[in-house]
Structure 1
C-alpha cells in the first residue's frame, strides 16, 4: 500500500522545488501545499492509487512502493504534498505539485500522454457526477470582456518577446506548423510555418489587392507574407509587446505601406474586407463571446468573401463537462482560455452568422511535432531563460505547459483545424 504521512503539527513546509527554492511571493500556491486533513489526504491517495492501477504508467513513491500497470515512470518524491494538493485543487494541484518538484517524470510528455488519453476515466463516475461540488469554477475576473481580454492576453503574450524568441523559430510563429513528413526536424520548422500560413492565405484567396483583416497578429509573420502577395493588411492584437515587434518586422521587410498593426479588440474592428484570417485566437475568446467573435467575422467580410480560421479543438463531451472548471493552464498560462469543439464551432456559425463552413481539415499530429520542437528548444536554453529573469519555478511551469500541450495532441485528446468560411454574394 502507499503510505500517506501526516503533516507534522505546527510545522511550516519548506519551500522547495526538488533542490531548487520556490519564491513564495511570486508563487504563493506553489511554495507550500494547502493544509489538508489526514483523512482527506488518505481518501485522495486511495482514489489516485485506484486510477493509477488501471493505467499503463508506473508510479514510484518515496517509500519504494509502486502503482500502475507499467509504462512511463512517475517519481513521487513527496506523497503527502502530492495527494494533499490533488485532494484540494484537483488537476491544478497536480500541476502545482510538479512546479514544486514534488513529483517528476523522466519522460514527462510520455506520462502526460497516458493521462490525457485516459482523461475521461481518471475520476470515478460518482465523483464526475458531483463535479460541480468539488471542481474549482472559473473566476469571474477572467471573463473576456473587452477589458478582461486585454488583461488575459497581456498575462501571456506580454511576458517578453525575448522569451518567445528563445524557443520559436526565426518566423516567430506561435501556432501549429504543417510539416512535409515525420519526424520533424528543427531546421524544417520555419518552412513548415510558412507552409501553414500559405495554406490559410490560399484558402482565403489572398492575393494582389486583397483587403485582409487579421484577428490576432502574433509577431507579424502572416501579415508580412500576405503583404508580400500584394494584399493590404489590417492586423489586430491586444499585446503591446507583439504590436511593437510586429511593426518593426513589417518595417524591416519594407512592407509598412501595406500593413497596419493596431492595438485593438476584435469587437472594435471596422470596415469591410475581402478576406479575414485568424490563427489560434478563438481559444482566447471564451464560450460566452463565441457568437460575438463569429459575428465579427461575418460583419467584417464583404459579400462573396472568405474567412480562414485555425483553431485548436477538443472533444465535445469533454468541453461540455469541463467548460465551467478552472484549470491549471487557465491559472498559469492562458487565463480566460477555452478550447471549442468542432460541434460548438459549427453550431455557433450556423446560429449566429450568415457564413457557411465550406471546408475543415484536422492535422493534430503536426501540432504534436511543433510542440516537441519548441519543448526541446526551450529545455536546451535554460541559462538564457534565467538571464531574462525567469526563475526555476517558471521554467518548470513552462516545461509542464509545453509537455502538457504536446501530450494532448499525441493522445488525440486535442486536434487543430483549418476552416474555410464563405459568405454568399446575394447580388450575384
Structure 2
C-alpha cells in the first residue's frame, strides 16, 4: 500500500462533506477520536485518524476507503485498540446495501471524470491473465491452507442448513462440487474438462466417479499442489493437470465445468471465453458453471472503474450480471437451461474463512505477511461477505447447453 497520498485541501474537504452527508443518512454510527459519535443506531465505524481517512478518500475515492482501513486509520467498533474486535461486516453491509446512495446522483453521472479507470496493464491478454492470477493465487499455498478446509476449495460451499459451522464446511464443499458434477452429468467414462483447477478437489471427485479429467490452471502453486494430490490419490491415470490458458485448448469433451472462473476472465474476454466453451463441448454435451453475479446496472457502473478489490485482490476481474452472461453465451449458441442461486451460503462460507483467518494471525505473520497484508485480507473477506449479506452479490450454478437451431424442438 502506498504511503499517505497527497490530496488538495479542496478534495479532502469535499470528501469530508460528502461522507458526512452520506453516512448521516444511513443506519450507521460514526465514532470520532474526541469521543463524539454521529448516527442513531447500527454498527460503529470508528475513525482513528479522520484527517488521513478523508485525505485518502479525497485522493483515491473508494480505493482510499479500503487503503485507510489497511493503514489502521479506521476500524469497526466497539473497542479501543487497533486489534479490537468489531462488526466490520456490519459496517460494510450497511454501505453495500446503500451503495447507490453514497455518491450524489450528479456525481454518479460524472463518474467518468472522477473515478479512476482500470489500468491497461491488467487486461486479460494471455500474458496479462497469467500475471493477474499469479498475484492472487500464487501468494502461498500455506497461506490459503490457514483458512480453507481440508478440501482446499476456494469458492462458495453449499450447506445443508444455515447458519453453518467450521466443522460442516468440508462436507458442504463436497456437496457443492457433487451438485455441479451432477448438473454436468459426469459419470463413468465422461470426458471432462475443468477450466480453473483450484487445488484439485473437483478433479479428484470427478475421477472417483470414473470420469477422465483434463484440468487447467494459470497458477503454478495450484498446479503443483493439485498434481501432488492427484498422485497421492492414485488417480494420475485419470486426471491430467496442466498449466495452460483456456484459449490454448483443443479437443471436444462430454462435459465442461468451471467454478468461479468467469469473474477472472474480464468483460472484454467474455465472448472469447464462451466461444471456447462452445467449441470445446461435444454435440449433446453439457457446461456447468458456478459464478458470482451482480445486478446489471451495478456491473455497468463499475465495469471500467479501478476499484479497491481490483487493485489489491483480483486484478483484471469483473463480476458479471446474468444479463451479460446470457448475452455472451447466446452469441456462441449457448443458453442457460438451469439456474440455481444460493448467495446466503457464500456469506456463511466467507464468515467461516474470515473468522478462521483472523484466529491465525500469528501463523500469517510467520509466513512472512505483515500486518498491512493481514488487514487487507480481513477487509477483503469482510467486504465480500457484506456484498452477499446485503444482496448486492449472488452466487449461482448454471447449466448451459447448445441452443436449438432453426426448426429444432425447444
Fold similarity call, TM over 0.5: yes
Counterpart check, 1:84 vs 2:64: no
Report the CA distance shift for 1:250/1:110 in structure 2 as closer, same or farther (over 3 A): same
Query: What residue is the counterpart of 1:59 in the other structure?
Result: 30
Query: What residue is the counterpart of 1:184 in the other structure?
Result: 164
Report the CA distance shift for 1:75/1:425 in structure 2 as closer, same or farther (over 3 A): closer
Counterpart check, 1:169 vs 2:149: yes
Matches within 5 A, 1:367-378: 367-378=346-357
Name the SS for the 2:61 alignment partner. helix
Q: 2:286 aligns with which of 300, 306, 311?
A: 306
Kindly indicate whether the alpha-carbon contact (under 8 Å) linking 1:55 and 1:69 is maintained by their aligned counterparts in 2: no
Distance 1:67 1:91 in 2: 21
Matches within 5 A, 1:334-413: 334-350=314-330, 352-413=331-392
Report the CA distance shift for 1:425/1:80 in structure 2 as closer, same or farther (over 3 A): closer
* Deviation of the 1:37 alpha carbon: 2.4
**Deviation readout 1:130-181 (Å, 9 max, x if unpaired):** 1111101000000000000000000000000000000000000000000000
* Deviation of the 1:424 alpha carbon: 6.0
Query: What residue is the counterpart of 1:246 in the other structure?
Result: 226
Point out 4+ residue stretches in structure 1 off by more than 3 angstroms. Answer: 424-428
Name the SS for the 2:378 alignment partner. helix
Name the SS for the 2:353 alignment partner. helix
| Unmatched segments (≥5 aa) in structure 1 | 1-26
| Unmatched segments (≥5 aa) in structure 2 | 77-85
**Deviation readout 1:179-230 (Å, 9 max, x if unpaired):** 0001101100000000000000000000000000000000000000000000
Q: How does the TM-score come out when normalised to structure 1?
A: 0.91
Distance 2:299 2:403 in 1: 31
* Deviation of the 1:264 alpha carbon: 0.2
* Deviation of the 1:38 alpha carbon: 2.3
* Deviation of the 1:72 alpha carbon: 0.4
Query: What residue is the counterpart of 1:3 in the other structure?
Result: none
Tell which deviates more after alignment, 123-132 or 60-69.
60-69
Query: What residue is the counterpart of 2:14 in the other structure?
Result: 43
**Deviation readout 1:14-43 (Å, 9 max, x if unpaired):** xxxxxxxxxxxxx3x1xx321222232122
**Deviation readout 1:367-400 (Å, 9 max, x if unpaired):** 0000000000000101111110001110000000
Query: What residue is the counterpart of 1:318 in the other structure?
Result: 298
Query: What residue is the counterpart of 2:176 in the other structure?
Result: 196
Query: What residue is the counterpart of 2:82 in the other structure?
Result: none
Matches within 5 A, 1:48-197: 48-105=19-76, 106-197=86-177
Distance 1:69 1:257 in 2: 63
Kindly indicate whether the alpha-carbon contact (under 8 Å) linking 1:54 and 1:69 is maintained by their aligned counterparts in 2: no
Name the SS for the 1:343 alignment partner. helix
Query: What residue is the counterpart of 2:79 in the other structure?
Result: none
Distance 1:266 1:393 in 2: 34
Query: What residue is the counterpart of 1:22 in the other structure?
Result: none
Distance 1:66 1:33 in 2: 25
Length, aligned pairs only: 398
Distance 2:72 2:180 in 1: 41
Name the SS for the 1:399 alignment partner. helix
Query: What residue is the counterpart of 1:283 in the other structure?
Result: 263
Kindly indicate whether the alpha-carbon contact (under 8 Å) linking 1:303 and 1:425 is maintained by their aligned counterparts in 2: no
